[in-house]
Amino acid sequence: MGQTIIQVDAFTNTPFAGNPAAVCVLPTSQSEDWMQKVAQEMNLSETAFLVRQEDGFHLRWFTPTTEVPLCGHATLASAHVLWSQGHLLPDEVARFHTKSGLLTAKKQGSWIELDFPVNHSEEITAFPELAEALGVPITTVMKNSLGYLVQVESEDLVRQMQPNFERLKALSLSELIVTSSTHKDSEYDFVSRFFAPGLGINEDPVTGAAHCCLAPFWRDRLGKDEFFAYQASSRGGVLKIRYDGGSRVYLSGQAVTILRGELI
């Protein structure tokens, strides 16, 4: 009998949208080399590996080229799999032990709410190489543990920009969030995109970890604690966000199972 692996589209309720992640619930721990090879074989932005523990699950995330310390969409996908495959009852809280500490997920109707650590940014001086790599004018540049957070002047610029990924890879930090507020008639509070060529992902379709940075950024600018956000990649993704200024950010999204396979 092989090992089941499930592909889930996260931060969407529509198949073939949002951010795809592979989820593998393992009976016992496997080597890091094996997990990295499976992630490379799946060739998705993230593959998640879970092993049951006494008080939850040990969770690790791998891109096709490297392990990462935090991933929102693959955590959302993992929680979805635990409930949909009967590893947890619908009213049970999913508890994940990770390199970013304890993360939890709760099922709330058709939505899943993730409890994640906030990631604050500090403003830095804009430098020409960044604007040249993005190909658009920059309003504000911030820096955090994830990379750069760049504000541009309009939603249209966020949606239409076409970065030079080779130039991005040459920067000291090659992972960056680009964001702006939305048009007045938009249902969303802000839009964003996330580029990570240094992690082997030119553009991530929907990025939970980026919204741990975006929540305090937009709370300071919009003066509110709850947001409805859209990540404007070609696939697109929707998030509900709660952030009251504390140490935790609450990200909510939906998820759809796309396929089940077996590693043999």
Annotated catalytic residues are 46
Number of other residues whose CB lies within 10 A of the CB of residue 53: 12
Closest by Cα among 5, 4, 3, 11 to 256: 11
Q: How many residues in total does the chain contain?
A: 264
How far CA 107 is from CA of 134, 207, 217, in Å, comes to 38, 19, 27
Cα first-last separation, the chain: 7
Q: What is the CA radius of gyration of the chain?
A: 18
Q: Report d(CA 54, CA 220) in Å as an integer.
A: 40
